[in-house]
Amino acid sequence: MAQKTLLKGRVLSFTGSPFEGEPTEAVIISGAVLVEDDRIAAVGDAENLRANNPEANVVDHGQNVIMAGFVDAHVHYPQTAMIASWGKRLIDWLNTYTFPEEMKFGDPAYAGEIANRYLDLTAAHGTTTMCSFCTIHPESVDAFFTAAQKRNQRVVAGKTCMDRNAPEGLRDTAQTGYDQSQALLENWHGVDRLSYAITPRFSPTSTPEQLEAMGALWADYPHCLMQTHLSEQTDEIAWVRELFPEARDYLDTYEKFGLLGSNGLYGHVIHLEARERDRLREVDAALIHCPTSNTFIGSGLFDMAGLMRDGHRVGLATDTGGGSSFSMLRTMAAAYEIGQLRGAPLHAAQLLWLSTVGSARTLRMDDCIGNVAPGMEADLIVLDLASTPAIAQREACAENLWEAIFPTIMMGDDRAIAEVWIAGQRVSN
Ligand code: GUN
Ligand code: ZN
């Protein structure tokens, strides 16, 4: 017998993109969602669904918003313990804080402890899927997939390959990078809800030989995602120019080694040249905006309005722990603020879309996660729009749903996440 639960509340579904036309017209609000085993069976009128499914267990969430779990399209789970490290810009931040922490992940016990801590923290913040960099160590990938598999979570991850400009103990080679990535991919990709992403960290930490090997691996497994970083800080871009003097631009260091494609995810992409923007659009690559990271590390202001207008596929991400929060609410707030600084404020519907459907599209998973619709996997969150006194007093005088939800986007945290469901099961926070 199927296990059925009817969740009543204000169920938020997207019917289109809020970046095309009036943002609110891309959304419908229904009275209930019917979860059957690990899937969404129906969305619609609460009384009708109740009458047609008398055996369903009913949970009434009143005025709370029921929506898809957040999808975080770019994270580094191994950076959980060193989040919010003070005062450095990208390259110094990597050398001072990040690499010493990542060194610890050769120890499977430590990797397992942090993977579980990270998944506990993100579930509490309403994130049900993420795409994570691991470390150079295969153990770090095994630990993350093992932890996610136990929770029946849909996640993407890959071994972060580096064979230069990283400390001893945190480098592989072109060959071992290929071999270890391939072995992990063969072990994990497509198992339960797990997917492997081929993961060269970024051009400065890979030799041309390693980039070529990563490109060859992707050519062998083109259905896999490939994730990396691109044009995050101006000093980083200058360094890439020194390391690859013959490249036309930063993107070219990936392009010439077969690392530009429609299943590629490029994190940050702030300081793009016209050729880079055009090529990324031509191949339909995914661009990942990491706003709290970009302000925290001082990287720059992502051009959301321009890139969306040009038809890029854009997702939203925390970039933990360069990002300063595990919360996609806080991340949406930072995206809003960066939009304001660029003269283009994002609507609440656009922010919620980016953190669900938008990110799922960048992972090529929008057919199964990121929205509340029949047939989708039942990864759901319940948002309390009055989770603190400060938010509640603002929400109390809201004149419509969008005014009611925006204070939670701007001021909310894990207290706003009333409930989380992963694959049809309620997760206890
Ligand atoms: N570029 C290369 N590695 C990293 C990383 O770990 N975090 C951020 N923000 N940028 C990077
Ligand atoms: Zn990153």
Rounded Cα distance between 15 and 373, Å, is: 9
- Going by CA atoms, what residue is nearest to atom 9 of ligand 1? 322
Computed over its alpha carbons, how large is the radius of gyration of the chain? 21
The token duo for 419 is 């409930």
Q: Compute the distance from residue 75 Cα to the ligand 2 centre, in Å.
A: 6
pTM recorded for the entire structure: 0.98
Q: The domain 70-362 belongs to what CATH superfamily?
A: Metal-dependent hydrolases (3.20.20.140)
Answer whether 293 contacts ligand 1 (Cβ < 6 A): yes
Domain boundary assignment for the chain: 4-69+370-428, 70-362
Which amino acid type is present at position 174?
A
CB-ligand 1 contact for 356 (6 Å cutoff): no
- Residue-level pLDDT, tens digit, the chain, 429 residues: 899 999 999 999 999 999 999 999 999 999 999 999 999 999 999 999 999 999 999 999 999 999 999 999 999 999 999 999 999 999 999 999 999 999 999 999 999 999 999 999 999 999 999 999 999 999 999 999 999 999 999 999 999 999 999 999 999 999 999 999 999 999 999 999 999 999 999 999 999 999 999 999 999 999 999 999 999 999 999 999 999 999 999 999 999 999 999 999 999 999 999 999 999 999 999 999 999 999 999 999 999 999 999 999 999 999 999 999 999 999 999 999 999 999 999 999 999 999 999 999 999 999 999 999 999 999 999 999 999 999 999 999 999 999 999 999 999 999 999 999 999 999 975
Ligand minimally distant from the alpha carbon of residue 266? 2
Taking the CA of residue 322 as reference, the ligand 1 atom at the shortest distance is 9
Distance from the CA of 377 to the center of ligand 2, in angstroms?
27
Atom 7 (ligand 1): residue with closest C-alpha? 322
Give dist(CA 270, CA 249) in Å, integer: 14
Check residue 399 and report its DSSP letter. S
Q: How far is the CA of 76 from the centre of ligand 2 (A)?
A: 6
Hey, what CATH class is 4-69+370-428 in?
mainly beta
How far apart are alpha carbons 330 and 159 in whole angstroms? 27
Ligand 1 contact, 74 CB (< 6 A):
no
Residue among 72, 75, 98 whose CB has most ligand 1 atoms within 8 A, to mutate: 98
b/e for 364-403, b at 16 or more Cβ within 10 A? bbbebbbbbeeebbbbbbbbbbbbbeebeebbeeeeebbe
Q: Please work out whether the CB of residue 419 comes within 6 Å of at least one atom of ligand 1.
A: no
